[in-house]
Amino acid sequence: MSVFNTANKADHTKVTAFLDPTGGPTIQRYDTLKYKSFDSLTDKQLGFFWRPEEVDIYQDAKDFKALSDHERHIFTSNLKRQILLDSVQGRAPVEAFAPIVSLPEIENWIQTWTFSETIHSRSYTHIIRNVYSNPSKIFDEMMDIDEIVDCAGDISKYYDDLIEMSSWYNLLGEGKHKVNGKTINVDLYELKKLLWLTLMSVNILEGVRFYVSFACSWAFAEMKQMEGNAKIIKLIARDENLHLASTQMLLKILKTDDPVFEQIAKETEQECIDMFVDAVDQEKAWAEYLFKDGSMIGLNTALLSDYIEWICTRRMTNVNLKSPYSVKSNPLPWTQKWISGADVQVAPQETEITSYVSGGTKQDVSTDTFKGFSL
């Protein structure tokens, strides 16, 4: 494997998205693209660029002191979980997908996507520094919560398996190999299956796993508490919608790019359904952990359970999987304004931000850019 394959002279508009036999992308060119939608995603994400320091959370420190003990438990626990999940996403997409991507527009998107996740991680540190008198204590205790560690382990498993096999594939090629007395079997079909399952796992992470904690953050703001935190979470959710769209798009184009993925999709259908169900069960368990000492106005475990089932059904439908859940409408309709709104006022003296100016030109993406990908 090389960072630049000088022997690869293939037409970049005719190669597959991942694992093309000609090798990875060479010239990073964006004049002619096989999948322009990924270039549009990158433009959109760059236009969304924000820094956590732009959000005023001075009042949040005062609000936090006024919360009850069980409300502090809810707020702090959610922060810990969000940090751990984005600690995975802050490095994993590039590590897992970049070594096997074949198209420059998708490679560029993966890099942009991963960078935006690091902003999310930095934003949690910004909150903790300003709200807690001893920020280090929050980070030091993070790995002590089983419900957080188990969730991170489930996500990392697919990433780790894909990274390991793709590393052997790039180093040794397909076939059976002896390495330090151990037999390494590198099978391209199995590697593609791991790619499919990992993308599905990431789709679930971006589209399901954050939403119990998101709902709690926004519920505080509905009560005029911790509003700076809620604005940051809204900015994060706006980014996550792009990331979710990208995983849905990747799962779709894999099947049109390479017929073997149609077979893989059928073969792994039940495993993928089980992955969604496991994520929902973990979100429900998380809600129970949050509310073990008391609920908060407008939220309880039953409502959050219905909410996460409703979200899961939408996500499963978008990747052509049948949902086992029957919740037909949003049990928390007030959350929609936090999810769907692109405008976030980050500080009282600032105007609403709909897009940022990049290079002196306002970068907007038309409403047709993501046509066919419902969030």
Clarify whether 124 is annotated catalytic.
yes
- Rounded Cα–Cα distance for residues 104 and 31 (Å): 11
The number of angstroms, rounded, from the C-alpha of 257 to the middle of its chain's C-alpha atoms is 23
The overall longest dimension of the chain from CA atoms, in Å, is 65
Which residues, at least 6 apart from 262, have a Cβ–Cβ distance to it below 8 Å? 255
- Rounded Cα–Cα distance for residues 311 and 279 (Å): 11
Q: What is the CA radius of gyration of the chain?
A: 21
Query: Catalytic pick from 30, 35, 124, 132?
Result: 124
Return the number of other C-beta atoms located less than 10 Å from residue 330's C-beta. 15
Strand pairing partners for 296?
A: 299
Signed CA dihedral, 200, 33, 38, 92: sign only? positive
- The residue whose two tokens read 């398996």 is 161
Strand pairing partners for 142?
A: none
341: helix, strand or coil: coil
Kindly give the pairing relationship between strand 175-179 and strand 357-358.
Answer: unpaired
Active site residues: 124
